[in-house]
Chains A and B, each alone.
Chain A
Amino acid sequence: MSVVVTPLLLFGDVKVGDELPPLDYEVSATTVVLGALATRDWRPMHHDKDFAVVRNGTQDIFLNTPNQAAWFERYLTDWTGPHGRLARVTFRMKGSVFPGDTMSLRGVVESAEVDDTGCGFVTVDVKLSVDGDVKTTCAARLALPTTPDDNPWARRGDRWRPGPSS
């Protein structure tokens, strides 16, 4: 069952300032509840509108953080293909995403460097916005193959350094 999978994106293809392909998605109550279920997050503000409004004081149920992490991962790996390996992500929640919102994900490459072990890392600043208001930011560091034969997933131990670059 061996196949040759050619990397979709190489480290050398990426320049600081590059924009990732945009993603727009219409969020429904189903999106929110499906995301809560998919992350086994049973807290009521992610499925019970009365609880969200009366107890949390929000306008509706809202996307939970772990599911937003899955949205950011999908956005990033749509761009890199399967060889892209996430190293580190930082999310900052500034506002909530509700049913009826169209969320827009936009990403810009902030840095690109090869570490001491030869691993090619890029950092990408991703913003999730609704009607131009930034709801969540994601600073992502991920590894890309430096050559068609390189594979960041093959790295382990001291050859995989996902922490912030020093």
Chain B
Amino acid sequence: MTAATTSAAAALEGMRALIGQEQYHEVGEFPVERSYVWTSCASVENGNPLYWDEAVAAEVTGGPIAPPSMVSVWFRPHHWAPGRSEQALPLQVHFDLKELFGLPEAVMTDNTIEFHTPVRLGDVLRTHQVLRSVSEEKTTKLGTGRFWVIDVVYANQDGDLVAIESYTGFGYQRGAS
């Protein structure tokens, strides 16, 4: 057995132990805020009056909410914060897998989000990540690597389930060209 196959076997074993485990419990760095809702709506020219008209929000959603598709945004940290020495990475499990398998590049291929309790302005959300599966080695037009599925579970400060997001990533080594 070569050193390379030994290290691949160790990586596989390490990965299997993580499947189904709740990892990286985190609390959002800042509360859900309207100006970021507007930044998001502006980026896609979303004129839904729920996000721009207080009276409509009061009538339809019992007060202002954030667009459901923004749920992951509340866990992407600002690029810098005082006293923070390391850049916290959203989807840390994804980066752990890249490192574990020595795969320098990665893309997301598939993403499902199920929306539960609406996110409201002022909410401080919490999250954890769960690795669901990792594929055998595969070769695509991008290179050779592995597909993996990671769930990100979001709840609000009252413990209500807000959303479950499921990502499929492909970590790879670029093929010789």
Q: Are A3 and B115 in contact (CB under 8 A)?
A: no
Asked if B115 contacts A86 (CB within 8 A), the reply is: yes
Q: Does A114 contact B (CB under 8 A)?
A: no
Q: Among the interface residues B39, B55, B56, B68, which one has the most CB atoms of the partner chain A within 10 A?
A: B68
Question: Interface of chain B, helix or strand or loop or mixed?
Answer: mixed
Please, which residues of chain B bring their CB within 8 A of the CB of A93?
Answer: 107-111
Q: Does B138 sit at the interface, judged by CB under 8 A?
A: no
* List of B residues within 8 angstroms of A2 by Cβ: 55, 58-59
Classify the secondary structure of A's interface with B: mixed
Interface digits, B51-66 against A, CB 8 Å rule (1 contact, 0 not)?
0001110111110000
**Which chain B residues numbered 50 to 101 have a C-beta less than 8 Å away from chain A?**
50, 54-56, 58-62, 67-70, 72-73, 76-79
B1 at the interface (CB under 8 A from A): no
In residues 53-100 of chain A, which contact B (Cβ within 8 Å)? 55-57, 65-67, 69-74, 77-78, 81-83, 85-93
- Given A38-B39, A38-B40, A87-B115; A66-B72 close (CB under 8 Å): yes
A72–B69 CB distance below 8 A: yes
Most buried by A among B44, B78, B105: B44
Give CA–CA (A70, B165) in the complex, Å: 14
Closest B residue to A45 by beta carbon equals B107
Known: A1-B58, A66-B73. A35 touches B114 (CB 8 A): no
In this complex, the interface size class of chain A, counting residues with CB under 8 Å from chain B, is 35 or more
A1 to B48, CA, bound (A): 18
**Minimum CB distance partner of B80 in chain A:** A42
Residue A12 is within 8 A (CB to CB) of chain B in the complex: no
A14 CB to nearest chain B CB (Å): 18
| A37, CB-defined interface residue at 8 Å | yes
Contact B111–A39 (Cβ < 8 Å): no
Picked from A56, A91, A156, the residue with its CB within 8 Å of the CB of B111 is A91
Q: Considering the chains assembled together, what is the distance between the CA atoms of A97 and B117 in angstroms? A: 31
Tell me the bound Cα distance from A92 to B70 in angstroms: 18
A28 to chain B, nearest CB (A): 12
- Residues of B at the A interface (CB closer than 8 Å) are 36, 39-50, 54-56, 58-62, 67-70, 72-73, 76-79, 105, 107-118, 142, 174
7 extra interface residue pairs, beta carbon distance < 8 Å, beyond A5-B49, A34-B42: A73-B46, A73-B68, A77-B46, A77-B48, A90-B111, A93-B108, A151-B60
